[in-house]
Amino acid sequence: MKWQSPSNIAIVKYWGKKDVQIPINPSISFSLKHSYTTTEIVLKPKESKSAISFDFSFEGSQNTAFEEKILKYFGQVKDQFGIFDHHHLSISSSNTFPHSTGIASSASAMSALALCILSAEYPKGRISENEFNKKASYFARLASGSACRSIYPGFSVWGNLDGIENSSSHEASQLKNIHPEFNQLQDAILIVKSSRKKVSSSMGHSLMENHPFRDARIEQAQIHARQLTKALTNGDFETFSQICESEALSLHALMMTSNPSYILMEPESLVLIEKIKEFRKQSGLKLCFTLDAGPNIHLIYPLAVKEKIITFIKAELLSHCESGNWIDDEMGDGPKQLNV
């Protein structure tokens, strides 16, 4: 089994969870095209039914941190997959984006892993594509929350949302009725700092448990998710931008006001944000920013203005990136099975 599965960028952010990876609020993201993980699992028969057995290599070398995550995950799901009883799993994985860019890789890595074990259990044709995707998203969620949104092309929603058919906290689904304005959204990922995140997302999610703004945040995310789905249907880029930036800054504000508190932006993140706002004001072009739980800036814009935005990035922004580093990404078509 071999799958390539993309990372995704959230416009409405998942921040805070309960029970087993159930989000406290709905989130909406789009899958990327060029930032993805490729994972292959080779099944080797073992003599007798015994404990979970696997080996794992990331870009050709052993990686203990990943191995521990995978073992924990397999322990959680093994009863639902026959393959673990009689096989040793030889897993190899690699990313298209350099490991040192500070880009969260858990969404692509964990969705690729879930797709591999699922396709071993359900070879093509055994269940419908819809069912397969739903299960893949469910099992990806158990590995890493945001990974459940990477299963689909374009926009996905995860979490219960009034008026959105099939929306669920157990798995994501693809958002339909998207206006052509948002068809080929671009995401220029401006690398401010490539070192590892200051705080893991599990730690971040747990800080929401006793957060003084928890209830207000849940309400804000619900309102944003509803408004965003409307804006996506209507082709309303202005509302999209407002929500996108408010979500990014709210996520960082929640981190700043948690106990302990974290400041995840760097001075250059703020410089980039100001430059993007200023350029939008004087050019009148459609562009906006978002951030994950780190200092890098995602500059989001429609394909139609790509040439002008690239000129702006090169002239004004790259000097504020670490070693002029950035990734020219865009909305993608979701995961791809490579050995069919």
Q: Is 111 in the site for ligand PMV (CB under 6 A)?
A: no
Query: 313: buried, middle or exposed (CB in 10 Å: 19+, 13-18, 0-12)?
Result: buried
48: Cβ contacts below 8 Å, ≥ 6 apart: none
Residue 204 C-beta: closest distance to ligand PMV, Å: 7
Residue 278 C-beta: closest distance to ligand PMV, Å: 26
Binding segment (CB under 6 A) for ligand PMV, from list 47-55, 74-82, 90-98, 143-151: 143-151
Torsion sign over Cα 312, 101, 23, 204: negative
Q: How far apart are CA 47 and CA 68, in angstroms?
A: 24
Please identify, using beta-carbon distances, which residue of 272 and 291 lies nearer to ligand PMV: 291
Please identify, using beta-carbon distances, which residue of 1 and 143 lies nearer to ligand PMV: 143
Distances (CA, A) of 322 to 248, 274, 317, 330: 21, 17, 11, 21
Q: How far apart are CA 52 and CA 83, in angstroms?
A: 10
Q: Is 150 in the site for ligand PMV (CB under 6 A)?
A: no
Q: Is 89 in the site for ligand PMV (CB under 6 A)?
A: no
Distances (CA, A) of 186 to 133, 191, 305, 307, 332: 25, 16, 10, 11, 10
Q: Tell which one of 6, 16, 26, 145 touches ligand PMV (CB under 6 A).
A: 145
Distances (CA, A) of 219 to 185, 201, 223: 27, 21, 6
Q: Is 297 in the site for ligand PMV (CB under 6 A)?
A: no
Distances (CA, A) of 236 to 18, 88, 211: 33, 51, 33
Q: Is 106 in the site for ligand PMV (CB under 6 A)?
A: yes
Q: Is 169 in the site for ligand PMV (CB under 6 A)?
A: no
Please identify, using beta-carbon distances, which residue of 146 and 325 lies nearer to ligand PMV: 146
Q: Tell which one of 185, 293, 300, 309 touches ligand PMV (CB under 6 A).
A: 293
Q: Is 5 in the site for ligand PMV (CB under 6 A)?
A: no
Q: Is 135 in the site for ligand PMV (CB under 6 A)?
A: no
Residues near ligand PMV, by CB under 6 A: 10, 13-15, 27, 104, 106, 144-146, 201, 292-293
